[in-house]
Amino acid sequence: MELTQEEKEILNGVQGRSAAKAMQILVALGTIYGAQRMLPVSSVQIAGVSYDNLGEAGLSFLDEMAAGGGRTQVLATLNPAGMDVENWQTLGISPQFAAQQQRVLAAFARMNVITTCTCTPYLAGNLPHFGEHIAWAESSAVCYANSVLGARTNREGGPSALAAALTGRTPAYGYHLAGNRQPDLLCEVQARVEGTQAFGALGKAIGDRLQAAGQKIPFLRGVEQASLEELKALCASLATYGGTALFHMQGLTPESGQVTLPTDAISIQPADLEQAVASLNDADPAEVDFVSLGCPHLSLREVAHLAELLQGRQVRGEFWVTTSRPIKQIADRMGYTHVIEASGAKLAADSCCVVAPIKGRFQAMATDSAKACYYAASKNRFKTLFKPFDEIVMAALKPLAQPKAQS
């Protein structure tokens, strides 16, 4: 790779040993993928934050990078941690885990990474604009940034995202190059798609077809409208089941009018969506002992809607609502948190049902998230019930008390 004078100096340790290590990681990555040069990035999202996934080895790496003088050069934010940082006891997290998780966050903070702890950085102050080169980890957010925002990022891993944060650079390959953003599969959506669960099912149906065909970038035609929440559900699901980092959607995503339509085409029929839904439902409703909403983290609109549904009602069993800290703070101010917690549900910031250490705690999880279903089964060995958001909430409510009969 051809490096600038400054990049060579970073590599030679002029900016300290952690920056040098970071540059080594990026040069190795660029060499593997045939990059000619580095690109400056303006925004980084770092994954690999939960101590449940990092373990001691990951924590030592972070400590070493912080001790070696590693400091972020650009806006850098964090993915969810293994617990609600301010209220971890409510989620049944052990003090031992909490202590280790705090050490992870302290190491990031020492490097000036902003400890947002959310997988929706675009709703929490890290919102890149069209065409901006960024280095994001977190597959759902990568898909959202590339597709919905039109920013440019590869799917970074935890170490390469941290390396980008410490140097302000990323190798110029993959989705950073315009020629690599062309779609390779036309998906004619001939089904009505509405709501986060349906968009998650659409992501699974298309993702499975992409995997089978070895294709990467779908162009969706036939979806007439999609809300922010539906798009974030689609991104999470496409990334999970199709390994997708970028899609185009006619009339809805910013590059959709600039790309060439692929000749390979499939159609998605109502039966494909039904099959995707059925494949993620292996729990009997009576078995459900855990409800989880907020994968990806809930938006303000979703939290407000949930508060409406839970107003004056009680839920049975463990019910988690996961979101980012800024949205939780607005929910506190608006009284949504009070309504949700009065129902017995837990409004947890900073974390989620996938990165929290809950393996073995539950038998069957109900969710509207296709991505959460995948990890509930593969990581935590839970059965799953995959239903629309409102249905999940309604099924979790205790019956209303009957008014006493007049004597």
* Residue among 140, 147, 160, 299 that touches ligand F3S (CB under 6 A): 140
Residue from 22, 66, 117, 119 binding ligand F3S (CB under 6 A) = 119
**Cβ 186 vs Cβ 76: under 8 Å:** no
How many contiguous H segments (helices) and E segments (strands) does the chain have? Answer: 14, 14
Closer to ligand F3S by CB, 140 or 244: give it.
Answer: 140
Candidate list 19, 352, 385, 392; residue touching ligand F3S; CB under 6 A: 352
Q: Kindly identify the residues of this chain, within the stretch 359-378, that bind ligand F3S according to CB under 6 A.
A: 371-372, 375
Neighbours of 148 (CB within 10 A): 20
295: contact with ligand F3S by CB under 6 A: yes
CB of 351 to ligand F3S, least distance (A): 8
Residues 6+ apart with CB under 8 A from 389: 195, 196, 197, 293, 302, 305, 368
Binding span for ligand F3S by CB under 6 A among 61-69, 269-277, 306-314, 348-356: 348-356
Task: Tell me: does residue 105 bind ligand F3S (CB under 6 A).
Answer: no
Binding track, positions 80-99, relative to ligand F3S; x by CB under 6 A: x-------------------
Nearer Cβ to ligand F3S (50/256): 50
Structure tokens at 217: 């970038």
CA distance 292 to 319: 6
Q: Please report whether residue 236 would count as binding ligand F3S according to CB under 6 A.
A: yes
Near ligand F3S by CB under 6 A, which window of 195-203, 244-252, 352-360, 390-398? 352-360
Nearest alpha carbon to residue 35 among 176, 178, 181, 173: 173
CB 187 within 8 A of CB 151: no
Least spacing, CB of residue 139 vs ligand F3S, in Å? 8
* Tokens at 259, concatenated: 């790309």
Q: How many residues bind ligand F3S (CB under 6 A)?
A: 15
208-212: which pairs have CB atoms within 8 A and are 24 or more residues apart? 208/241, 208/242, 208/276, 209/185, 209/242, 209/266, 210/185, 210/242, 210/243, 210/244, 211/241, 211/242, 211/243
- Residue 220 binds ligand F3S, judged by CB under 6 A: no
Q: Which of 149, 354, 385, 396 binds ligand F3S (CB under 6 A)?
A: 354
Q: Is 206 exposed, middle or buried (0-12, 13-18, 19+ CB in 10 A)?
A: buried
Where does this chain bind ligand F3S (CB under 6 A)? Answer: 79-80, 119, 140, 236, 295-297, 322, 352, 354-355, 371-372, 375
